[in-house]
Copies of this chain bind each other. A is one copy, B any other.
Amino acid sequence: MSLVVVGSVAYDGIETPHGRRDRILGGACTYISLAASYFTKPSVVAVVGEDFEQDDYNFLAGHGIDLGGLDRVPGKTFYWSGVYSADMNDRTTLRTDLNVFADFAPKLPDRYKEFPYLLLGNIQPSLQRSVRGQMNGLRLVGGDTMNYWINDYRQELLNTIREWDFLLINDSEARLLSGESNLRRAACRILDMGPHTLVIKRGEYGAILFRKDRYFIVPGYLLEDVFDPTGAGDCFAGGFSGYLAQQGLDIHRCDIEPQELHRAVIYGSVMGSFCCEMFGVERFRTLTRQEIDARYQEFKRFTEF
């Protein structure tokens, strides 16, 4: 069932120990939608400039992504560039040109407003909130945020996530948001802020899903080569929410089968791992659902005892 995805569509300049690429398709909304497209129909809400390439448009459309909410306006598309450290655990931003993204005020096409699932990529919390407010009959809503909003827009962020079902953040963000360094205690505090489901992403070490009464941990997939980690967290979000949307799940319900949430975390991990295998979104040019399911089975084999 349809999943509305809100966030940035961008051009990226990326340098990793494996090489560099400039002006390649990127942005949170792009990665989330591509990953989710293997499970459900994503409907994007984003803005691009006049320089947005027809090839990139066609690539997204070719994945069955609904681009009715992709606004094209005068100006240039959001541009970001950065360089990764030798072990790829750190990255330094070289340049951020917001361009048309500076005035992004997400407005949903009318038909989007009845869709049941919403994934809010990392943008200003008040914008995330305004999107949620435009939708009727939501069955499941969740999203991402980052240290900048946690530090400088705290109250706005708290008002926003209060209305979410799930929050996806990384471990340092979880510590910052909760004021707790221990992840179990951090999760406890965050689950008191509104979301009944919290997923903490740990990069190469995997992810943890927390609910009030349980948790689930998955280790990271052991890649032989990480070409480019850009977008891996967003692909996790796309796989996680895409799988839940595909199952038609409403995690509001108390009787949801916990195993379904665990499987969603695995599919998120699978999509994040594929993302790192090539630069930018390249891996999604050839990736098949069959490969995804094979890697899912691989996760089973290397974690089962």
A residues near B (Cβ < 8 Å) are 86-87, 181-185, 202, 205-206, 208, 214-219, 222-226, 259, 262-263, 265-266, 299-305
Contacts and interface: CB of A to CB of B under 8 A. Distances in A.
A139 to B, nearest CB: 22
Given A208-B222, A222-B208, A305 B266 contact: yes
Given A208-B219, A215-B222, A265-B305, 18 more contacts: A86-B181, A182-B223, A182-B224, A183-B222, A184-B223, A185-B224, A214-B302, A215-B302, A216-B303, A216-B305, A217-B219, A217-B222, A217-B302, A218-B219, A218-B303, A219-B219, A259-B304, A262-B304
Contact of A182 (B205, B225, B299): B225
Contacts of A263: 305
Contacts of A266: 305
A262 B86 CA distance: 32
Nearest to A187: B222
Contacts of A208: 219, 222
A229 to B, nearest CB: 13
B224 A184 contact: yes
Contacts of A183: 222
A216 B302 contact: yes
A258 B87 CA distance: 31
> Which 6 residue pairs of A and B lie closest in terms of their CB atoms, listed nearest first?
A262-B305, A217-B219, A205-B205, A184-B222, A219-B219, A184-B224
A259 B183 CA distance: 29
Contacts of A224: 182, 184-185
Nearest to A264: B305
A55 to B, nearest CB: 33
A265 B305 CA distance: 9
A154 to B, nearest CB: 23
Contacts of A300: 305
Contacts of A302: 214-217
A180 to B, nearest CB: 10
